[in-house]
Chains A and B, each alone.
Chain A
Amino acid sequence: MADSAPKLLVDGKRIDGRALDELRPIKIVARVLNDAEGSAYIEWGKNKILAGVYGPSECIPKHDQSLYRSIIKFRYNMAPFSGLEEHGKSGPSRRSRELSKVLKEAFENIIISESFPKTQIEIYVEVLQSDGGTRCAALTAAAVALADAGIPMKDLPCAVAICKIDGHMAIDPGKEEDNYGESDMPVAFAMRNGDILLFQMDGMLTHEELVQGLQMAKKAAEKIHKIQIDAIRKVYDEPKEERLLLIK
């Protein structure tokens, strides 16, 4: 990186004016697509992400089938126009393949797949606009889409990242904090018992910092979980025949 790192923390406030334990604004709308069995749209900061779910349907190719459970497929994809930078390349990058894998594994713990032998459940996430922290927003939206589809799950998981900026632990790094921060640690929780379903980390942290970060993440996850539940409730509190994606 040729640019010098900007100062990420001034008088205890972050670049976008947030406090260390403050999330960016999060908005979730469930059931925005017609053909998908379940769907959800999330705005998290400037991230704009759409999730859709299909299944259980016949698992194709057949050699992937399991007689004991449903196979979970997860595709995380970034639109070529999602970033502020140059036009994206088509086809999955190494990054998006890795993310698809860890996200899929998080849901393998949660979806009660034994109910549907020989089938597959497909989860598709499309990042329409990216602003740092897309994997956490993707997991959070995918969980709502799965619940909307009525796929049985042990939990309604959500995710948030923790970062270290100018020597302090903070939650939910924005794009610049992601790029210039000293550490980045996305974590997904099962809310009923606090189990950790996704964990990645880079940068340097002491053990104390890691534990402090996890505690902050858990607290933030509770707020996110409430937003997820409200989004699902809204589908039934204000029933609509029309399913339409509305983006300001």
Chain B
Amino acid sequence: MEIIDEIKKDMLFSFLSKGRRADGRGMMDFRKIVVQPSPLQNAEGSSLVAIGKTQVIVGIKFDIAAPFPDKPDEGILSTSADLLPLASSMFEAGPPSDESIELARVVDRGIRSANTIDLKSFFIEEGKVLALYIDIYVLDHDGNMFDASALAAMQALLCTRLPKIEDGKIVRGEYAGKLPTKDKVVSCTFGKLGDKVFIDPSLDEERGMDCRITFATTPTHICAGQKGGWGAFSYKDIVELSELAIKKGDELRSLLRD
């Protein structure tokens, strides 16, 4: 596998040094994006997103739980990600990998920082709050799981129905209106090889590149960031890309449906 990575790197390098990408798109172009809201009905919210050949489904469930002791009047938001073994020959069945935990935490941080969901509104009664679970299921992996997952999570939240609560219990299958959401959070990921920077890396590009950086944004702010890989970004890169992430984020936001 390592050898193939080296070959990918050589191929990538020869393309990028000529200022082009293997699939013919521009340096700052996303692949084709398809967003499907509410593909599932048992879940309180769901969405299916494809960025190129990467496909991610997100399901949202509510339960009733005890609040965290340090925040007794706040609900719980829990995000997890599964890199399904059917999504890539590189993924294995079993406990969450470091990669899947990183993915879930980056998506979580964006949504949490932007206060997209008002967790205070999840308070039911003393010792009882709503817990919202965001489950990211990567179905098909061709690179940039971060942006596909963040987009799918946001779309799923936008079509989430609040559960109906009676006597401190959830009445399954009945709903109490839409989940109120604030700013729409999406993320943009950039890859870097040598001194070339490009958006929305494909799997081949991911395997060859030196590093990546992800910015989650609202229309006005940057709300989460994560750099990955052994390489480094310049000071100038960070300044420029964080600004571009908001602009490119607006393109992604326009694909979301309320």
Contact = CB atoms under 8 A, between A and B. Distances in A.
B142 A81 contact: no
A244 B42 contact: no
Contacts of B133: 80-81, 87
Contacts of A85: 172
Given A75-B93, A81-B40, A126 B84 contact: yes
27 contacts: A34-B55, A34-B142, A35-B53, A35-B87, A35-B88, A36-B87, A80-B59, A80-B61, A80-B133, A81-B61, A81-B133, A82-B40, A84-B172, A86-B61, A86-B170, A87-B133, A88-B61, A90-B80, A90-B96, A124-B85, A124-B86, A126-B139, A128-B39, A129-B41, A129-B42, A245-B55, A248-B39
Given A53-B86, A128-B39, 17 more contacts: A34-B53, A34-B140, A39-B86, A46-B41, A48-B39, A54-B89, A81-B133, A82-B40, A84-B173, A90-B80, A91-B95, A126-B86, A244-B50, A245-B48, A245-B139, A247-B39, A248-B39
Contacts of B57: 128, 245
A54 B87 CA distance: 10
A36 B39 CA distance: 21
Q: Give the top 6 A-B pairs by smallest Cβ distance, nearest first.
A: A81-B59, A52-B86, A247-B39, A124-B86, A87-B61, A81-B43
A9 interface: no
Nearest to B133: A87
Contacts of B48: 245, 247
B34 interface: yes
Given A244-B50, A245-B139, A247-B39, A124 B84 contact: yes
A243 interface: yes
Interface in B110-144: 131, 133, 135, 137, 139-142
Contact of B40 (A34, A87, A126, A129): A129
A54 B133 CA distance: 30
A247 B36 contact: yes
B60 interface: yes
B34 A57 contact: no
Interface string A190-202: 0000000000000
Interface string B17-57: 00000000000000000101001111100101010010101
A75 B39 CA distance: 23
Given A39-B86, A84-B172, A124-B84, A33 B140 contact: yes
A83 interface: yes
Contacts of A129: 40-43
Nearest to A57: B89
A80 B86 contact: no
A122 interface: yes
Contacts of B135: 79-81, 87
A33 B139 contact: yes
Interface of A: 33-36, 39, 46, 48, 50-54, 57, 75, 77, 79-88, 90-91, 122, 124, 126, 128-131, 243-248
A79 B141 contact: no
Nearest to B203: A35
A52 B93 CA distance: 13
Contacts of A88: 61
Chief secondary structure at chain B's binding surface: strand
Chief secondary structure at chain A's binding surface: loop
A203 B122 CA distance: 42
Given A247-B40, A247-B48, A35 B85 contact: no
Nearest to B89: A54
Nearest to B90: A35
Given A91-B95, A128-B57, A129-B41, A81 B86 contact: no
B116 to A, nearest CB: 19
Given A35-B142, A128-B59, A247-B48, A79 B86 contact: no
Contacts of B50: 244-245
Nearest to A122: B85
Nearest to A247: B39
Contacts of A247: 36, 39-40, 48
Contacts of A83: 42
B39 to A, nearest CB: 3
Nearest to A55: B89
Contact of B42 (A53, A57, A84): A84
B195 interface: no
A118 to B, nearest CB: 17
Most interface-central of B60, B62, B93, B95 (chain A CB within 10 A) = B93
